[in-house]
């Protein structure tokens, strides 16, 4: 069911096929029952589309939070980034407070966000993986820092909000330390 709530394409495709089939039956028979079936197919498709738009799944919430976090990063908004981090994740908060003043970010992006929610965890937990882009200038040296690779993020849901608990930037499939890369004034990824 989550597949239908996160991706409207099956609803569009199924609704189009059903409406086409019902439309062909109506054209062949031209009677009231076949017209009502066609109208019912169209209405069912519309109800499913409206439901898909109104219901926001946990995975969709994490995608929105990830995109919001990337926008805050691009704006060099330390409080905005800190707001997305779980207060218990002191190391992640420390990384944000350490790294953000060292880099003036000019552009960010998140693509191909994939989320796996662990519904059995208490509190609710999730892992997201996506391709991140961060383009900026090292404030001390003026050197350009550019990162474009996978990032893994761990999330927890507290008080109705998804909060970041940990992150792992990757370089060619291996985890790296973003803090050390920026401190050493070298590019995070090439």
Q: Could you tell me how many residues make up the chain? A: 190
Domains in the chain: boundaries: 2-54, 58-183
Residues 6+ apart with CB under 8 A from 76: 100, 104, 105
Give the closest residue to 178 by CA, choosing from 113, 134, 129, 140: 134
Question: Is 176 a residue whose pLDDT tops 60?
Answer: yes
Q: Is the pLDDT of residue 115 over 90?
A: yes
In whole angstroms, what is the distance from residue 93 CA to residue 85 CA? 7
Q: How many CB atoms lie within 10 A of CB 147?
A: 23
Task: Select 58-183's CATH number: 3.40.640.10, 3.10.450.50, 3.10.20.70, 3.50.50.60.
Answer: 3.10.450.50
Say whether pLDDT at 181 is over 80. no
pTM of the model: 0.74
Q: Looking at the predicted structure, is the pLDDT value of residue 3 above 60?
A: yes
Q: Mean pLDDT score of the chain, rounded to an integer? A: 88
């Amino acid at each position: 069911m989550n597949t239908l709530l996160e991706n409207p394409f099956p609803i569009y495709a199924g609704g189009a096929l059903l409406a086409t089939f019902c439309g062909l039956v109506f054209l062949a028979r031209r009677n009231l029952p076949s017209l009502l079936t066609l109208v019912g197919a169209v209405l069912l498709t519309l109800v499913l589309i409206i439901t898909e738009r109104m219901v926001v799944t946990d995975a969709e919430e994490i995608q929105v939070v990830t995109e919001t976090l990337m926008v805050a990063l691009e704006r060099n908004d330390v409080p905005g980034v800190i707001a997305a981090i779980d207060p218990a994740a002191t190391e992640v908060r420390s990384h944000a407070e350490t790294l953000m003043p060292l880099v003036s970010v000019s552009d960010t992006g998140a693509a191909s966000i994939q989320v796996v929610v662990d519904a059995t965890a208490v509190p609710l937990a999730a892992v997201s993986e996506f391709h991140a882009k961060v383009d900026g200038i090292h404030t001390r040296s003026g050197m350009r820092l550019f990162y474009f690779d996978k990032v893994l993020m761990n999330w927890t849901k507290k008080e109705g909000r998804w909060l970041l608990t940990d992150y792992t930037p990757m370089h060619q499939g291996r985890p790296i330390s973003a803090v050390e890369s920026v401190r050493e004034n070298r590019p995070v990824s090439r």
